[in-house]
Structures are given as structure tokens and as C-alpha cells.
Amino acid sequence: MIDHAIASTPGLGLVVIDGIRDLMYDINNATEATNVITRLMAWTDRYQIHIHTVLHQNKADDNVRGHIGTELNNKAETVLQIAKNSDDPAVSEVTAPLIRSIDMEPVAFIVNDEGLPEQKHGHEFGKKTVRRGFSYTELTEEQHRKALEATFANGPIRKYKNLIPALMEGYSTIGFKRSYTIMTELKKFLANKRMIEKDDNQKAYVYNPDFYY
């Protein structure tokens, strides 16, 4: 239906797909994610249009969800993040954590009485913001592989209390030395990307070398 709408709309310049996740059965399916991204890129190239998609972030951190989120980050020209201001929930802040062109200044907006977005001028950004523990942009796929190979060099790791220290030691081999708190955030990221998994049969954490970054 999207393909038909694009092909049959003359003078089209912008397409907004609100909910790219709805084009997939499984948000963590690598094949589905690749197929969706391939279709998006084909549309932009063939029709010379800009496609804007919407994808929610994980509740536990601010990383985009699933394989489709990873692929979108890899291919997108710009990634915009929208979050409510911690001091005033009526204000939403728009930042660009990933941009391949000219840097964008953050923008704040409110929703007016007519239900429309309205820019809030003079808004102070970063007044009480706290940097997240781990960003997906900090390390490359190869760095993760080397660190996880070192972490699980002796096989599966039993119990959570043993996992975090092991990750700290493993990631220190690539020069990524962080606090216990930050490494717990890294663990959430690794589990979300299925780089590490909980094996119920072994009752232990295992490294998944076939992860899709």
C-alpha cells in the first residue's frame, strides 16, 4: 500500500511512516529488518524522496528497539530524539544524537490549545540532564566481539553478580574501563541486542556470536 501511494502521488517529496515497527512481524528479526531497510532505500533512490520514520526507544535505556532500530541508525541520514523535559513535562526537547550533515541545534516545543506543536523560544537545555550510562555509538561491532570473547573465554557465566565483574574485566581488554553502574547499563544494551543471552537450561549467561549489531 505504501509503495502504491508513493508511486501514484505526483510531486511527492516527503513520506512519513509513523510506526516502522508495524511493517514487521518480529522487531528483532534480522531478515525482516534488512528487507524493510532495503525497501526504504529503494524508494528514496527511485523517487528521490525523503522518508521519515518513527520508532520507540527501549524503556530501560534510550536505545532504539530491535534489529530494525540498529539498521535505521546505520542507514539514516539523521536520527532525532524526542523526550519530555525533566523539569517541565509540558515541554518536549528535540535533539540529534546522530546526524551526517550540518549539526542541528536542539529545539523545544509545547502543544498549544489547538493541539498543534509550537516552538518554545528561550528554553534552557541540559539544566538538569544526566548523561546516560552507555551509548550504542561508543563502541564498534568488532570491539564488542573482542570484549565479549574475552568476557566469556571460560564459557558461560553463572549468576548476575558474576556477570557484571566479568564484563568489566572483558571490556577493559579493549580499553573500555567503566564503573559498575555503567556496566549494568551496558549489560542491558547487550541483552537487548541479543549479544548475550540467558540460557535457562544451563542457568547461566552465554555469549551469542551470531548477534546482529
Does 29 share its domain with 81? yes
Decide if 124 is inside a domain: no
Q: Residue holding cell 527511485?
A: 46
CATH of the domain at 191: 1.10.10
How far apart CA 169 and CA 173 sit, in angstroms, is: 7
Instruction: Indicate the pTM of the whole model.
Output: 0.55
- The answer to whether the beta carbons of residues 33 and 17 sit under 8 Å apart is no
| pLDDT recorded at residue 64 | 65
Q: Answer yes or no: do 53 and 86 share one domain.
A: yes
Q: Which of 14-18, 77-81, 179-183 has the highest mean pLDDT?
A: 14-18
The β-bridge relationship of strands 14-17 and 50-53 is: parallel
Say if residue 174 is in the same domain as residue 106: no
Mean pLDDT of the chain: 86
- The total domain count for the chain is 2
What pairs with residue 56 in β-bridges?
none
CA 2 to the chain's CA centroid: 24
Same domain, 67 and 110: yes
Contacts of 18 (CB under 8 A, 6+ apart): 54
Residue 134 in any domain: the answer is no
* 8 lies in the same domain as 91: yes
Asked if residue 107 is part of any domain, the answer here is yes
Q: What is the CA radius of gyration of the chain?
A: 20
Domain that holds residue 47: 2-119
The C-alpha cell that represents 152 in the structure block: 566469556
pLDDT over threshold 90, residue 129: no
In sequence order, the β-bridge partners of residue 207 are 196
Q: Which of 41-55, 117-131, 181-195 is least confident?
A: 117-131
